[in-house]
Amino acid sequence: MIPAARISAAIEVLADIETRRRPASDALKDWGLSHRFAGSKDRAAIASLVYDALRRKASASWLMGETTPRATLLGTLRTLRGLDVNAIAALCSGDRFAPEPLTAAERERLEAASLDGAPAHVAGDFPDWVEPSLRRLLGDNVIPEMTAMASRAPLDIRVNTLKAEREEAHQALVHLDMIETPLSPLGLRVPPGPDGRGPAVQAEPEFVKGWVEIQDEGSQIAAMLSGVESHEQVVDLCAGGGGKTLALAALMGNGGQIYATDSDARRLAPIHDRLQRAGVRNVQVRTPRGRNDDPVDDLDGRMGCVLVDAPCTGSGTWRRNPDTKWRVRPNSLESRLKEQQIVLDRASRLVRPGGRIVYITCSLLPEENDDALAAFLERNPGFTVVPPGDVAARGPEGFAERVRLTERGVQMTPLKTGTDGFFVSVLKRG
């Protein structure tokens, strides 16, 4: 496909996402199935255009003075791709498969329009209704922080120290042009390329052998902040596919015992193969056998650490999943808050005296972080918050100086720490 045809295809996919309010991945998959002539490079390029447009949807539309899929993509070519009006006009020639030529108004906007005077939610590319929440956390830094959240994310991997050391893995993957992550001593990173594409790490022999796992640097650090030790009894209460379970197992050197469970048995499905590939021997997977089954009820009052990777809006991952920020609604937040109450109260019953809950979200919203913990502490006065500064001190070298401390936890952000937006708090039972 010629570049102009890829532009047309991206506009078509954006229109489908807007009309049907569906995930970008579903719209891209359906487009590929109905356009089988498009090769893998074409599909990847179209996906990159779509995700870039979703990252900068608000600012691109403001620049163009319209909110149509075409306007959003044209504005993105100008703001994020850095194309000038003549380069964009060359792509929009109106020839076969190319978008229609630029109108006089479009050309004028591309030449002269700017984001000067744009509201914060436009300049920072986030839904306007979350601005009060974000300002509680970020204050006057809301625009630069959220602009960083609207940038492309790198591809991070965690070296599995049960099988390899970072230097060893780095040498084996030298052809991928990776660098060491700035903070995590376990991470390697592929910076985002010009087209937004990353390498197929899952196809590498080192991945198949279990040397590495794909995991954002912030998620790696969140596992480190749990402070798990090799002799401990641990429950990963919202284990899902097992990313943090595997990280904990490596930190514990296959010692102690981890019980991995989740309220949704389907989310646990990938964990078994991942544990085997990684050489993990200290994890017991507890799969619920029905809606009302509690597979860890025999562990109440016995656990030294309960990890709660809580359900949340995912606002901290918007640079990776930019379509989700435009689909989230206030009622979605309300639903997540109820789920957080349930899972925190369940965790409290598992913790032994002197033990702890490690509460993690991939959210920037105080309602899901400090506020959720305040409500929990009111319901459970036997727990206290470990000072956030002490939690941050458990992180890698240089982390405590870069992370943002809140009243009850530590908040990572792309601008401050170069990671996804993770929140971590530790609650100790008296």
- Joined tokens for residue 119: 């509201």
Strand partners, 361: 423
Which of these, 49, 50, 1, lies nearest to 23 by C-alpha position? Answer: 50
Residue 92 known to be catalytic: no
Helix (H, G, I), strand (E, B) or coil at 213: strand
- Joined tokens for residue 322: 């930019």
The alpha carbon of 262 is separated from its chain's Cα centroid by a whole number of angstroms, namely 19
Give the DSSP H or E segment for 156: strand 155-159
- Joined tokens for residue 349: 């019953």
Which of these, 48, 55, 57, 87, lies nearest to 75 by C-alpha position? Answer: 57
Q: Which residues of 402-427 are buried (b: 16+ CB within 10 A; e: fewer)?
A: bbbebebbbbbbbbbbbbbbbbbbbb
Strand partners, 156: 189
The answer to whether 309 is annotated as binding is yes
**What is d(CA 119, CA 59) in angstroms, rounded to the nearest whole number?**
10
Give the DSSP H or E segment for 390: helix 388-392
- Catalytically annotated residue among 92, 238, 305, 362: 362
The answer to whether 236 is annotated as binding is no
Which of these, 135, 146, 136, 131, lies nearest to 370 by C-alpha position? Answer: 136
| Residue type for position 134 | L
Strand-strand pairing, 212-214 and 283-286: unpaired
Strand-strand pairing, 303-309 and 233-236: parallel
Helices and strands per DSSP (H, E), number in the chain: 22, 13
- Joined tokens for residue 234: 């641990």
Strand-strand pairing, 233-236 and 212-214: unpaired
Where in the sequence numbering do the catalytic residues fall? 362
Binding site, annotated residues for S-adenosyl-L-methionine: 262, 309
Binding residues: 262, 309
